[in-house]
Amino acid sequence: MTNATLTRDEADRIAAEYRAACRAKFGDDWQQPSDTTVLRWAMDEVAEYADAVAKFIATGERDEAAMFKEVSDVIYLLMQIESDDLRREAATVIRIPSRYAPFTNPTALEVYRAVHRDNLRRIETATIGPDGKIEKAKDYDKSALMREIEGIVK
């Protein structure tokens, strides 16, 4: 495993790869969602992270893989925001625990890259929903990604 953490250049490259894959798959049917739409999706992922934290508080069982994945999803979406000012403001308001952030933790970087690879694979069989969001294929297997993440965080 590398000791590196996510750099701004790599985050920009990954965001550009994702957008290019969407354009290649869907052509003119896909438009970059507005920054506020992407931010709303990121907030949905924040809620999923909060659910994982609430479960940990209630049961004492920490699902590290789920926590890493949800934070990676939040950051992945934040990096899709084109406005530097809005992205910075959102990152300031949404407190990312450094333990799960690819900017500070090499393990989190590997999870972030796994999420990116999974997103690129998912696009191959995805469709576009009425809100412009990429919709997973019905047979999408999220458990494969979770197994990969579990292998990274153990």
First vs last C-alpha separation in the chain: 12
Question: What is the rounded distance in angstroms from the CA atom of residue 8 to the CA atom of residue 107?
Answer: 17
In this structure, are residues 97 and 85 in contact, taking their beta carbons and an 8 Å threshold? Answer: no
In this structure, are residues 108 and 97 in contact, taking their beta carbons and an 8 Å threshold? Answer: no
The model carries a pTM of 0.89
Mean pLDDT of the chain: 91
Question: What is the rounded distance in angstroms from the CA atom of residue 47 to the CA atom of residue 3?
Answer: 30
| Residue type present at position 33 | P
In this structure, are residues 72 and 115 in contact, taking their beta carbons and an 8 Å threshold? Answer: yes
pLDDT tens per residue across span 96-128: 899 999 999 999 999 999 999 999 999 988 988
Question: What is the rounded distance in angstroms from the CA atom of residue 7 to the CA atom of residue 4?
Answer: 9
Whether 23 shows a pLDDT value over 80: the answer reads: yes
Residue 3 pLDDT grade (very low, low, confident, very high; cuts 50, 70, 90): low
User: Which carries the bigger pLDDT value, residue 102 or residue 32?
Assistant: 102
Whether 147 shows a pLDDT value over 60: the answer reads: yes
At 58, list the tokens. 């209630």
